[in-house]
Amino acid sequence: MAAMADLFHFVPGYEHYVFRAGREPLFFLLLAFLLTFVTARAYTRVGRARGWGSGSVRGVHLHHLVPGIVACLAAGTAIIAFGPGGYPLLALSSLFGVGAALVLDEFALILHLDDVYWTDAGRSSIEATLIGFSLAALCLVMTAPLEADPAKDAPHWAFGGIIAVNMGFALIAFLKGKFKLGTFGIFVPGLALLGACRLAKPESVWAHSFYGPAKLARSRTRSELQAARYVHVGRIYDLIGGAPHLEHRRR
C-alpha cells in the first residue's frame, strides 16, 4: 500500500520521514483536506457577503456534504477493492481528504439535522474540522520511527493493555461531551483520563443517562461558566469559519 511517487522529494526531510516511512498517502489526504476546507469556507463567506444563492439541483438545495459523502465512499471503496499504489493511491487519498473536509465542514447539519451553518450551533462544524485535521496530523507525525521495534522493549500485551485502558478513558470522555480531550487523549497520555474524570456537559449522553436533577443543574452552571471564560475560543472559530449571524431555532 506504500506509495512510490516521492513527489515532494525536494522538501527537506520529506523523503525520510514521509516517503520512506510509507506515510505519503496520509500526507496527501491531509493536504487535500486542508486546501478543500479553506476553499469551501472562503467560497461560503464570499457568497454570504455578496448574497449568492446556494447550489441546487431541480430546486433541492445541494449541501456540499453530499458530494463529500460521495467522494469518501468512492475513494474508500476503490482503495479497498483494488489496493492501488503509486499515483492512483495518492489520487484516491486526496479524493478522500476532499470528501472528508466537505463532510466535516457541515458536521453541525448532520448533528442537528437542520441547516445551522451560520448560527452559533454551526460552530461545531469548525470544531469537528479542527479535530479531524489534528487527528490526521497526529497520525502523520507520531508514527513510530522506522528503526523502532516496541517488542524489544516491552511485551505486546503491556502495550495492548495500556492502549485499551487509554481508549476506555477516551470513550468515556466522548460520552461526557469532551470531544477535544477524548480525541487528543488517544495520542497524549493523561488527557483522556482528565476528560473522563471531569463533569460531563449537560447535553451529553453521559449526563442524560447518569445525572440526577441536582448534578445536571451543576453541569449546566459549569458549562455556562466555561462558555464565559473561554469566549475567545468562539472568536477564533469565527475568524476561521466566519461569525454566525442567524439564530438557531431548536425544534
- Shared domain check, 163 and 126: no
- Shared domain check, 77 and 21: yes
Q: How confident is the model at residue 146 (pLDDT cuts 50, 70, 90)?
A: very low
Distance, CA of 222 to CA of 251 (rounded, Å): 25
**Residue 148 in this model has a pLDDT that exceeds 70:** no
**Residue 114 in this model has a pLDDT that exceeds 70:** yes
- Shared domain check, 172 and 81: no
The amino acid that residue 91 corresponds to is A
* Residues in Cβ contact with 175 at an 8 Å cutoff, skipping those fewer than 6 apart: 200, 204, 205, 206
68-83: pLDDT as tens digits: 999 999 999 999 999 8
205-220: pLDDT as tens digits: 899 899 999 999 999 9
User: Looking at residue 1, what is its pLDDT?
Assistant: 41
User: Looking at residue 102, what is its pLDDT?
Assistant: 96
Single residue among 84, 114, 148 that ends a domain in this structure: 148
User: Looking at residue 28, what is its pLDDT?
Assistant: 94
213, part of any domain:
no
124, part of any domain:
yes
- Shared domain check, 97 and 119: yes
- Shared domain check, 168 and 97: no
Distance, CA of 86 to CA of 84 (rounded, Å): 7
The total of other beta-carbon atoms located within 10 Å of residue 54's CB is 12
Domain that holds residue 186: 149-198
User: Looking at residue 90, what is its pLDDT?
Assistant: 93
Q: What is the 3-state secondary structure (H, E, C) of the chain?
A: CCCCCCCCCCCCCHHHHHHCCCCHHHHHHHHHHHHHHHHHHHHHHHHHHHCCCCCEECCEECCCHHHHHHHHHHHHHHHHHHCCCHHHHHHHHHHHHHHHHHHHCCHHHHHHCCCCCCCHHHHHHHHHHHHHHHHHHHHHHCCCCCCCCHHHHCCHHHHHHHHHHHHHHHHHHHHCCCHHHHHHHCCCCCHHHHHHHCCCCCCCHHHHHHCCHHHHHHHHHHHHHHHHHCHHHHHHHHHHHCCCCCCCCCC
Single residue among 116, 148, 180 that ends a domain in this structure: 148
Single residue among 148, 166, 184 that ends a domain in this structure: 148
18, part of any domain:
yes
Q: How confident is the model at residue 187 (pLDDT cuts 50, 70, 90)?
A: confident
- Shared domain check, 127 and 27: yes
Distance, CA of 164 to CA of 215 (rounded, Å): 29
Q: How confident is the model at residue 94 (pLDDT cuts 50, 70, 90)?
A: very high
- Shared domain check, 157 and 125: no
Place of cell 441547516: 115
20, part of any domain:
yes
User: Looking at residue 33, what is its pLDDT?
Assistant: 97
Instruction: Report the number of distinct structural domains present in the chain.
Output: 2
Greater confidence (134 vs 154) lies with: 134
User: Looking at residue 30, what is its pLDDT?
Assistant: 95
- Shared domain check, 132 and 156: no
- Shared domain check, 122 and 191: no
Greater confidence (9 vs 128) lies with: 128
- Shared domain check, 177 and 84: no
Q: What is the pTM of this model?
A: 0.77
52-63: pLDDT as tens digits: 877 777 777 788
* Residues in Cβ contact with 85 at an 8 Å cutoff, skipping those fewer than 6 apart: 1, 2, 3, 4
Distance, CA of 76 to CA of 68 (rounded, Å): 12
